[in-house]
Each structure stands twice: as C-alpha cells, then as structure tokens.
Structure 1
Amino acid sequence: MSKQELTPEHLLRIIFDYTAKIANERNLNDVLVHMADMGREMIVADRCTVWLIDEQNHQLYTTVAHGVDEIRIPYGTGFVGSSIVSGEPIIIKDAYEDDRHNAENDRKTGYRTKSIITVPFRNNDGHMIGAYQAINKLTAIGHFTPRDLELLSLAASYAGKSLESVMLHQEIIDTQREIISKMGEVGEIRSQETANHVKRVAEYSYVLAIALGMSAADSELLRTASPMHDIGKVAIPDAVLNKPGKLTPEEYEIIKSHTAIGHRLLRGSKRELLHAASIVAEQHHEKWDGTGYPNGRKGEDIHIYGRITAVADVFDALSTERVYKAAWPLEKIESFFREQSGRHFDPAVVEVFFGQLPKLIAIRDSLLDFEDDSV
C-alpha cells in the first residue's frame, strides 16, 4: 500500500526532532542511525543508507543501512561511488536500466531495488566525507523526484557538518582508549603477564557490567578503564616484582603499593576515562569483607568498578596458563568463586559471573596467548 507525501507541518516536525537528536548525540553509530532514519522519513523511502569514506583502504562503507549489516565496496563503484567521485547527486527511476547497479545483491537478498537517490555530503571544510542513499520510493509515484533531492540535500548538508564534530570526538575517545590500553600492557609485561591479559579483563568487565544492569555508556567506560588496573606496577622494582621465590612481608607491602601508586598517577585528571581508571587501579584488590588493600574498604564502599574488575582479574589469573603455572580446571574455578562470594567478592557480581561464564570462556578462548585446554 502506497504512503502519502508528508505535509509541510509533518516534515518540519521530523526535521526538528532529528536535528535535535543528532545535535545532542556523541556516539558515532547512534548519529548515523538518526541520519538514516531522518533521510528515510523525510522522503518516504523504504530504506536509507549512510555511506562513509575509508580513505586508508580506498573503500566506501556503511555500518548503518536499513535491512542489512555492514557493507564495504571499492571507492568509486556503484551509484554511491559515482556520486561521491563526481560530487553530484544521482536520481535513478529504475536501477535495472543502469549499468552501475549490482543486481547480484538483490539476487542474494531477495530484495528488489527499483528507484534510487544518492546525495553526497561534505564537512565544514568542503571535504567529501560520505553520502546518503535512499532506495524505493513508497508513495504512488514510485520514484524519487526533484523535491526529494532538495529535501535529502538539506538533510545531507546539516548531517554532514554535524557528523564531522562527532567523528572528531570519536577519534579523541579512540585515541584515549588506545593509550590507556597500551599503558596497561606496559604494567602487565613488566610483571611477566601478557598484553592479552588486559584485553581479556577489559572484555570480561564489560560483559559483567552489562549483565549487572549498568548503562551501556558506563559499561563501555569500565571496559576502557580496566586495562589500567595494574599500571602502578611500573614503579615496582624488578627484583621484587619478578622475584621467583616467596616474598618477604616487606616485599609484599611493596607489591601492594602498586594500587596506591596507580591511583596517584591517574587521580589528578579531569578526564572521565582517567578518573575511572584511577578508581579501578586503587580498588581492584579490595575485598567485600574488608580484608583487602590498600584501604580495607568493605562492601559497597568499594566502587562497583573495583568490584567488577576484581572478579574479572582473578578469573583471568586462574583460567589462563602462564609460564609459571597451569590454568585451573573449570570445576576448581567455580568452587573458588562460590567459596569467596561474600568474602573476597561482591555476591551480586559472583551471581552474574556464573550466569555469564560461557560468554567469558568464549572471550578467553578468542584471546588466548597460546594453546590451553585446561578449562
């Protein structure tokens, strides 16, 4: 059944609603979703895709396309490639009458592409960064019109400029994450751990946080911050950190100081990521019953980030092989966590741990440092 063209009032409401959503959003993927939805609704299309340029790989790609997963195509190919290269929009009434249409995709999906409209968009400097592409007009006319081109060009002009600031913000966040991860790896490698240890702890922490009902943003923040849990080890002398025999009481106190050192290194930052990392660094060795260190915090006085990372860190230590020890069998690990629930670990986190254990094991197996069949 055909749909009606939008009234001016309805069109204005869509524009105001989506421009407000885009202006208040800092997550790149969410902005792209809003862009695709806005374009589809404005011109009454069946599907809308937002394409971006991957200059490094000389490709065009989309992570947001109604009805399909991520797609990558060579730069300059297809309708969208032609539009981006020329810098001009394209309107096609019947895709099958144009050699640029790849009918193979329709055969694979069973979807019939008819009319197409593609509008490239630029950033504030006039640099081409991507394109809108809508497929199949849903009104009785059955194809896109110059009015649709005008409307989608309006959306592209606004969205392209808004997208640039979000992409810059995302680049900053990605850079911070990479730096934090690398710094975390430095601390682990000095203590004869592996780079994958911090990656596994990050992924475990995220899974546990989501399962506990934490927001996606807070869970992602913990995933980014948790690799820094042992950063304070950079200040521990090698003779103590890697001592092959039993530590003296004095040496053990030196080892324990890595929590306070890590906290001091990070606590002065006003950045949300580094503030979260300072909490994790300080509190991941605190215990639910108050017998942990460095401050003997107890129960919910321990930040949830510390409680989650404690479970993630210990699980990884027990379940993976090291040059100096074998991995524990799964039954022994499960018994340990049941025994330590309410003592070492927050019972709520332990409950979630058991519920997510298959997922945690899958993560561990995907990030193993070498073959390990013990669990």
Structure 2
Amino acid sequence: MHQNFNEPHSYKLDLSPEQMLKVIFEYTAKIANEKKLESVLVLMANMGREMVVADRCTVWLIDNTRSELFTVVAHGVGEIRIPFGSGLVGSSISMGQPIFIDDAYEDPRHNPDNDRKTGYRTKSIMTIPFRNNQGEVIGAYQAINKLTEKQVFSTQDMDYLSLAASYSGKSLESIMLHDEIIETQKEIILAMGKIGEGRSKETGNHVKRVAHYSYLLALGLGMSESEADMLRNASPMHDIGKVAIPDSILQKPGKLTDDEFEQMKQHSDIGFRLLRNSKRQLLQAAAIVALQHHEKWDGSGYPQALKGEEIHIYGRITALADVFDALGSSRIYKSAWALDRILALIADERGRHFDPKVVDVFFEQLPRILEVRDREADIPEID
C-alpha cells in the first residue's frame, strides 16, 4: 500500500550501503534470469523504487510508431500515454538528461491531470533516461515522492537511480534481442567495487588497476582468455565488504588497534555473503575473490587461514595484485612506497604471503603491469 501525501504518515530511512547492495544483487539476479519483457519491467520498477526509497517508480518507454511515451509499469496506476516530449519525463528523454524537482506543482512541465483523476498528490519527482547499447535513449525511470523525512530526492539518489537506469536500458534491449547481458553486469561490478573502495578513501583507480593486473597474471599462468577476462571483471569486488565497516575504522589515519583490525577483517566474510547466492558465474568468481584475497600461501592469512593450493587461484592472484597496487598508492594511513621497495617485498614474500608461481609470473609480466600502472595512475587532488 502506498502512502497518500495528503495524510500524515511515518517516514522511512535511506538504505545503508549494505542494504543497497542487497537490493541491487537481488534484483539484477532476478532480471538476468527473466526472459519475459513484462516481468523484467516490473522488476526494474520495483528495484528503482526500493533503491531510492520512493513511493512509486514508473518505467517509461518510447513508442516511435505513435510518437508517444507510455508506461508499461506504473505502481498503483494502469497504462498512461503522453505525446513525445511532453511533461517532465518527455523533457528528460528529449534532452537525454536527468531531472529532479522538489515540488511538481511548482514546475510548469508537470501535468496534474492524472493526480486530479486519482486523488494522488505528486510532490518530489526524479526522472532518469536510460539508453541502449548504441547510446540511444529508449525510455526513462521516474521516481515519485521520496518517503524520507526530507521528502526530496538527493544527488546520491540520482547516482543510484542512474546506475539502475544504465542496467535497465541495456537489459531491456538484451531481453528484446535475446542477447547476453554480461557486459552490463561487468559495469555494475566495477561501479559497486568503486563504492566499496570510495568509503575507505582509497585511490580512485585502485579497483581498475587491480583488475588489469589480475588479468595479466591469469594469462601468464596459462589461463584461457575467457577465464582471465572473467577474473578481471570479478576482481573489482574484492573489497566490497567494506561497505559494512564503520568509517571510524576505514578512515582512521593511524594504526588500527587489535579490536579495530578484527572488525576490519570481517569485510572478507561480508563481501562473500553479499555475493555467494548468485547463480551467475561472474558473481560466483567475485565471491571467491572477496573471501580469499587476504589468505596467505603459508596459512597465516584470514579469514580461514587457508594454506597453499587450498586457496583458490583467483584469491592467490588477486592477493598479489591488490598488495602491489596498495603499497604503491598513498592512503590515509601511509605514503606510497617506492617501486624498488615494493618489488623487494614481493620477492621476499615468495612462498610466504604469495604463491611462488604467481610471484614468478608477476616478474615476467612486470613491464606490462607497469604500463597499466602508469596509464591508470590517479590524478592528485587539488585542495
């Protein structure tokens, strides 16, 4: 049952990062396994509504033959058709740009006719166009009435709904054309990996570099192109469990206490739990990486103290790629190490922290790894 904004009601809270991830993974898994267009559109609307805590979420599509926009899914409402270019959604689609307003009745583009017919009071609106794989706008998400105490949508809401819109537009086209949607899944994994890293104030391109390093190491170890590419696309999720670690620990400039370090170590298990239930091969690989990238060859790592080849090869590869990049990057608690010092540590940890075979391949691939490091270097922030 939806809330009537003309009557008193209790407010809701925005989703935490961990809740947001659960919503995304729940719905993207369902969408990926759904073949019926109508069912996919219902899932899209439900996903958008939950992500931004809206009362309603409508999926609009373009009917080119009739030069109209129409809703295939509108929570609480049947199909609605409007002339192409009219209303807020028409303006957003025509411009190819998001629009959000705090009070629809103060914007001349809003048509209140449907409110008068239904008795519903539209207040805050956020509209996000979505595109197909060729970059053409094919429809839009429209979220209506924010249910939190502020009752208005934020730029963060726009970022989250834009992520859903990106997935939805490409998924929609894929469903219609019976194509694979794996490329979109990769984009979501990279985007969510960046959210995990961003909370700990880590370097902007860290997940991208670790992905490239992992790919090169996998190829050097003799993996097929397809499996190496899968690891490249799974590895950005290695630290996704950090979304549930307190900021006081993630952003602490000094050394962590023993208790704080025990809390930090939980991110491996948390990341695994977030990903483990997916039936998609890519997310299963990401779950392994999230769980095992802090294991060590000699058994002294965490969370399971696995030893040697008990550790999945994905975990052994990502462990080295992650450490190499982390040591070479400035963090809130340390300065970047010089390259010679990093290479000396990796050589010294051969057979202790790292799989000897992975270390050997690392040094074989070092020229290409350094090319990636230079190409994807972080741009220093200017205060």
Q: Report the TM-score when normalising by structure 2.
A: 0.52
Normalising to structure 1: TM-score of the pair?
A: 0.53
Matching of residue 369 in structure 1 with residue 378 in structure 2: yes
Q: Distance in 2 between matches of 1:167 and 1:205?
A: 34
In structure 2, what residue type is equivalent to 1:225?
Answer: A
Corresponding letter in the other structure for 1:270:
K
CA separation of 1:238/1:166 partners in 2, compared to 1, >3 Å: closer, same or farther?
closer
1:345 paired residue among 324, 336, 354: 354
Structure 1 pair 230/170, CA: closer, same or farther in 2 (3 Å)?
Answer: farther
Selected match of 1:288 from 279, 292, 297: 297
Query: How big is the shift at 1:366?
Result: 0.5
State which structure, 1 or 2, has the greater radius of gyration over its C-alpha atoms. Answer: 1
Q: What's the counterpart of residue 92 of structure 1?
A: none
Aligned to 2:314: 305
Show the counterpart of 1:194. Answer: 203
Distance across 1 between alignment mates of 2:204 and 2:177: 28
Aligned residues: 209
Percent identity reads 64
Return closer, same or farther for 1:298/1:168 CA change in 2, 3 Å cut-off.
Answer: farther
**Local SS of the residue matching 1:193:** coil
Structure 2: how far apart are the matches of 1:217 and 1:170? 18
Q: Please name the residue that 2:225 is paired with.
A: 216
In 2 relative to 1, CA 369–167 (structure 1 residues): closer, same or farther, beyond 3 Å?
A: farther
Residue of structure 2 equivalent to 1:236:
245
The residue type paired with residue 221 of structure 2 is L
2:182 pairs with one of 173, 176, 193: 173
SS of aligned partner of 1:311 = helix
2-structure distance, mates of 1:345, 1:307: 7
Which amino acid is the alignment partner of residue 286 of structure 1? E
Residues 208 and 167 from structure 1, CA distance in 2 versus in 1: closer, same or farther, beyond 3 angstroms? farther
Find the residue that maps to 1:270 and give its secondary structure.
coil
CA RMSD in angstroms comes to 2.1
Aligned positions of 1:106-185 closer than 5 A: 172-185=181-194
Match of 2:108 in 1: none
Which residue in the other structure is 2:4 paired with? none
- Residue 286 of structure 2 corresponds to 277
Shift of 1:194: 2.7
User: Are the structure 2 counterparts of residues 168 and 289 from structure 1 closer, same or farther at C-alpha, using a change threshold of 3 Å?
Assistant: farther
Deviation at 1:370, TM superposition (A): 2.4
Q: 1:371 to 1:241 in 2, by over 3 A?
A: closer
Using the TM superposition, give the Cα deviation of residue 323 of structure 1 relative to its aligned residue in structure 2, in angstroms: 5.4
**Larger displacement relative to structure 2 (202-211 or 246-255):** 246-255
1:213 match: secondary structure: coil
CA positional deviation for 1:217: 1.1
Aligned position for 1:316: 325
Which SS does the other structure have where 1:257 is aligned?
helix
Change (3 A) 1:253 1:268: same
Shift of 1:169: 6.6
> 1:256 is aligned with what amino acid?
K
Listed one character per residue, the Cα deviations across residues 157-199 of structure 1 (whole Å, up to 9, x for unaligned) are: xxxxxxx989957651111000000110000000011331000
Q: Matched residue of 2:181: which SS?
A: helix
Give the Cα separation in 2 of the matches to 1:192 and 1:295: 27
Question: What letter matches 1:366 in structure 2?
Answer: R
SS in 1 for 2:365: helix
Separation (CA, whole Å) in 1 of partners of 2:307 and 2:234: 22
Any unmatched runs of 5+ in structure 2?
Answer: 1-172
Please say if residues 190 and 233 of structure 1, whose CA atoms lie closer than 8 Å, have aligned partners that are also in contact.
Answer: yes
SS of equivalent to 1:184: helix
CA distance in structure 2 between the partners assigned to 1:349 and 1:232 by the alignment: 25
- Matches of 2:380 and 2:248, distance apart in 1: 29
1:320/1:240 CA distance change after superposition, 3 Å: closer
Change (3 A) 1:322 1:250: closer
> Structure 1 residues 274, 356: CA separation in 2 closer, same or farther (over 3 Å shift)?
same
Contact between 1:185 and 1:194, CA under 8 Å: does it hold in 2? no
Partner of 1:265: 274
AA aligned opposite 2:228: S
Give 5+ residue unaligned stretches, structure 1: 1-163
Aligned residue type for 1:176 = Q
Q: Give the Å deviation of 1:232.
A: 0.2
